[in-house]
Structure 1
Amino acid sequence: MPGSELPISGVRTLDEAERATRDGLGIDTVRADDGLCAVTLAERAARRALREAGRDARDLGALVVVESRVQETFLSSEATRLQQRLGADAALTFSVGGLGCVSITPALLTARGLLAADPSLREVLVVHGSKPAAALRYRHPVTVNGDGGQALLLSRDGGTRILDIAQVTNGRYWDLFHVDYRDRPTAQWREECTEPRTYSFRLAMETRNRLATLLDDLLRRNGLARGDIAGFVSQNLSSGGFTFLEESLDIALLPACRDNLRRYGHLGPNDIFLNLRTALDRGELAPGGLAVLINVSPVAAWSLLLVEAGSPEGTV
């Protein structure tokens, strides 16, 4: 994780009501470094993943970048900027996104398609650098955004295996959260919820129903029952969000989720694999155990990943 720890008390809010909500999220600190951009965070994560796997960026067949929420400049390409900085000159390179936190799912679907379509392709590197869209790290009433980078090296075989992927979207909520930026200095950018009641009630109920249906379908098509799942992993928004998921789906999330929420806050598309890696490192998931990774975005999108745990060092 980059930067220094920023205590939750140091995260700015607009008023006392927001401050009270912020303090009840279950987040103690976030990592923050305003001197690092999303591409640098992604580059650091990519270099570490390649180093740990004993791979050279020059040999990469494909590089898929989960796009930043806000690029530093318009018209330029952060994906090819990262390609150039890594020296991955031979890699098929592009970005995916548009689904907020759930954007990691189309990146994985794309990697799976590339590996299936091209027998000569050995590995795909999926990378994301997470930075908040606005200077105000607090997103009312949802979470606090931290900084982080993540890279996943995907191949046809490896320690940890993604067995199945499910995703669904609903365009009704496409503009529920947004940042008005035209003709505004960046210091005035703010992630705003256009309809707080819709987020707190209507979307919450739809999330409960969508995830329950997705989970039932995912288990059914893989011939599994709830008891076959060794652990459930979620994104990091708030402790209340965890409780909502657990009660809605009648599950228990792995302890790594709450621990990482307290330490790092929300890291966008990086959350679920950070929590999975932490759970593997701490032995919360034994090798061969099955886990379901749950991801939700208020745009709105929902996704589930069925994962078979390998060793912490294994390639995804």
Structure 2
Amino acid sequence: MKASVGILAAAYCLPAARRTAQEIFRDEGVNLGPGLEARLGIAEVPVCNGETASNLAVEAAREALRRAGVDPMQVDVVVEYSVLPQEYLVPVWNMSNKVQAEVGASKSFVVGFSGGGATNFLVALSSAVAMLQENENLKTALLVTGDVAIPGNRVLNPSDPVTVLGDSASAVVLQRGTTSAVMDTDLWSDGTNHDICYIPGGSLIHPDDAELYRLQLDKQRYDAFPKTDIVRDMSTTLLKRAGIHWDDLACVIYPNISSEDQNQLQQVFNGKMAPACAFNRTTHGHLQGTDFVLNYLSVLEKRELRPGDYMLAVSHGMGALAGVSLIRC
């Protein structure tokens, strides 16, 4: 039987400055009417004012290790789950290497994932759990991310906005042999949607076109993607495999994309979505994979879970990469 791997501790780091959705929409030349405001359900977001994604990530990693009581030299692997562009060209430069160096995790090696939206966190979670379970020489993993929006590109899809992006970093410490456990994860990708949400500029095809250096969304394909059906089917399969009934779930956590998006998933999960998801969406906007860490910690802080309770973490990955993870607290 495989040893359990669970979450020892988690932390997030936010920049001090904040901007309201009204201010962001005005600055980006987008009208925020009452109907759209209600559909998004985002009042303000944290924004960097001189901070870098990597520095925020270092702080989050240090805090997560402190909470876990883990010496950085005990970390065997650092797994990055960032989504947005980093400070220098990737993969020649990778933020997780800087995190490894600055937290002092010199015994570890570094891997990273990108391109899956908030589902990147679930990919990192699943991969780290598998490494710790299958390799007896690995015991502790540090998951880390830092995401800062491209300047002037916080409103995703200005012609028909889907969300408002905030800046953040987060980190999670996993360890083998814990009482809590990441029990299972299912991932599903649709390769035809590889360009449903991407940045066309700054690459080899369009290296010098600043106008294309924007996170773009194909809204028509995004709307057509059967988001609720996919996550419902994946969740049903995962729970059945684990021998757990829907009624056994204490709560579901989900990315903070918009009120509309969360309401659709609330119906799928029969009202089990944690109230913290809606609150954090309103006060932070969409923070990519950090949404999961923020919502997870909020649920724990509100003492909504008891030891042994089951939590489901779910993401449709903007139509490109969906994921579901079952966690026993």
TM-score, length basis structure 2: 0.86
**Partner Cα distance (2:37, 2:156) in 1:** 9
Correspondence for 2:147:
130
The correspondence for 1:25, drawn from 30, 33, 40, is 40
Asked if 1 retains the 8 angstrom alpha-carbon contact of 2:22 and 2:32, the reply is no
Are positions 1:257 and 2:277 aligned together? yes
Residues 173 and 117 of structure 1: is their aligned pair in 2 closer, same or farther, counting only changes over 3 Å? same
How far does residue 64 in structure 1 lie from its aligned partner after superposition? 1.2
**Partner Cα distance (1:67, 1:73) in 2:** 14
Counting matched residue pairs gives 304
Residues 68 and 197 of structure 1: is their aligned pair in 2 closer, same or farther, counting only changes over 3 Å? closer
Are positions 1:54 and 2:69 aligned together? yes
Give the aligned CA root-mean-square deviation in angstroms.
Answer: 2.0
What letter corresponds to residue 5 of structure 1 in structure 2?
R
How far does residue 159 in structure 1 lie from its aligned partner after superposition? 5.1
Are positions 1:183 and 2:208 aligned together? yes
Partner of 1:16, secondary structure, is: coil
The correspondence for 1:215, drawn from 235, 244, 247, is 235
**Partner Cα distance (2:200, 2:35) in 1:** 25
Partner of 2:289, secondary structure, is: helix
Residues 68 and 84 of structure 1: is their aligned pair in 2 closer, same or farther, counting only changes over 3 Å? farther
How far does residue 68 in structure 1 lie from its aligned partner after superposition? 4.2
Partner of 1:230, secondary structure, is: strand
In structure 2, stretches of 5+ residues that fail to align are 1-13, 202-206
Correspondence for 1:4:
17
Q: After the TM superposition, which residues 1-316 of structure 1 pair with which residues of structure 2 at under 5 Å, given as runs?
A: 1-12=14-25, 13-16=28-31, 21-22=36-37, 24-74=39-89, 75-140=92-157, 141-158=161-178, 160-181=180-201, 182-185=207-210, 189-194=213-218, 196-200=219-223, 202-203=224-225, 206-309=226-329
Correspondence for 1:312:
none
Residues 216 and 24 of structure 1: is their aligned pair in 2 closer, same or farther, counting only changes over 3 Å? closer
Partner of 1:236, secondary structure, is: coil
**Most deviating of 226-235 and 117-126:** 117-126
**Most deviating of 17-26 and 128-137:** 17-26
How far does residue 224 in structure 1 lie from its aligned partner after superposition? 1.5
- CA displacement 1:62-84 (0-9 Å, x = unmatched): 11122342122222232222212
**Most deviating of 92-101 and 245-254:** 245-254
- CA displacement 1:22-64 (0-9 Å, x = unmatched): 5641111111113122211111100001111222212321111
**Partner Cα distance (2:253, 2:104) in 1:** 34
TM-score, length basis structure 1: 0.89
What letter corresponds to residue 208 of structure 2 in structure 1?
D
Percent identical across equivalent pairs? 25
Runs (4+) of structure 1 exceeding 4 A deviation are 17-20
**Partner Cα distance (1:226, 1:55) in 2:** 35
How far does residue 279 in structure 1 lie from its aligned partner after superposition? 0.7
**Partner Cα distance (1:216, 1:22) in 2:** 33
